[in-house]
Amino acid sequence: MKNITVKINGEEKTLDIEPRLLLVHLIRENLSMTGTHIGCDTSSCGACTVLLDGKSVKSCTVLAVQAHGKEITTIEGIAAPGEMHPLQEGFKENHGLHCGFCTPGMIMRGMELLERNPNPTEDEIRWGISGNLCRCTGYNNIVKAIQYAGAKMRGDELPDTEPEFV
């Protein structure tokens, strides 16, 4: 067993874990935060994306011991209870989800993208989320959702977008 301390969604946690435990399992099983999804276990889909010290990572490829002393942000930690982050609102308003399985990972990836570039072009958004797979939407409404969130976070007028239904 290995003793680690992480700060997750603003709260410090100290845990005894197996050294081979993946970060995604620490989050879901040890900390009971099930918003981070397990989609493929091969880093192909991005459903398990979280922020580790502000950088998006696929938590199925990170050992929990590598997160020792670091700050983890999951989908549960991006907004106060009962409130929505602009990205969550963007996904809702622009129908950026169908089944919703990829949504937490897409939002976490979108958070890092908007932090680095508050006003990305459509091509920059598509490139920015290219490591996250969605099997339902065709990505158009996801792009619109990120554009919406970016505008809201910048204080700009919200884009007048009509969601595409596929």
Residue finishing a domain among 51, 77, 103: 77
Looking at residue 49, what is its pLDDT? 98
Looking at residue 137, what is its pLDDT? 82
Residues 94 and 71 in one domain: no
Whether 142 maps to a domain, the answer reads yes
Residues 100 and 145 in one domain: yes
3-state secondary structure the chain: CEEEEEEECCEEEEEEECCCCEHHHHHHHHCCCCCCCCCCCCCCCCCCEEEECCEEEEHHHCEHHHHCCCEEECHHHCCCCCCCCHHHHHHHHCCCCCCCCCHHHHHHHHHHHHHHCCCCCHHHHHHHCCCCCCCCCCCHHHHHHHHHHHHHHHCCCCCCCCCCCC
Looking at residue 161, what is its pLDDT? 66
Residues 41 and 99 in one domain: no
How would you write the pLDDT of the chain (166 residues) with one tens digit per residue?
A: 999 999 999 999 999 999 999 999 999 999 999 999 999 878 899 999 999 999 999 999 999 999 999 999 999 999 999 999 999 999 999 999 889 999 999 999 999 999 999 999 999 999 999 999 999 888 999 999 999 999 999 999 988 766 666 5
Q: The domain that contains 53 carries what CATH number? A: 3.10.20.30
User: What's the domain count of the chain?
Assistant: 2
Between CA 37 and CA 58 the distance in angstroms is: 10
Residues 25 and 62 in one domain: yes
Residue finishing a domain among 41, 59, 77: 77
Q: What is the span of the domain harbouring residue 90?
A: 86-154
Whether 138 maps to a domain, the answer reads yes
Residues 73 and 132 in one domain: no
Residues 97 and 57 in one domain: no
Diameter of the chain by CA atoms? 53
**First-to-last C-alpha distance (Å) of the chain:** 49
Q: The domain that contains 125 carries what CATH number? A: 1.10.150.120
Residues 125 and 70 in one domain: no
Residue finishing a domain among 60, 77, 94: 77
Q: Global pTM?
A: 0.93
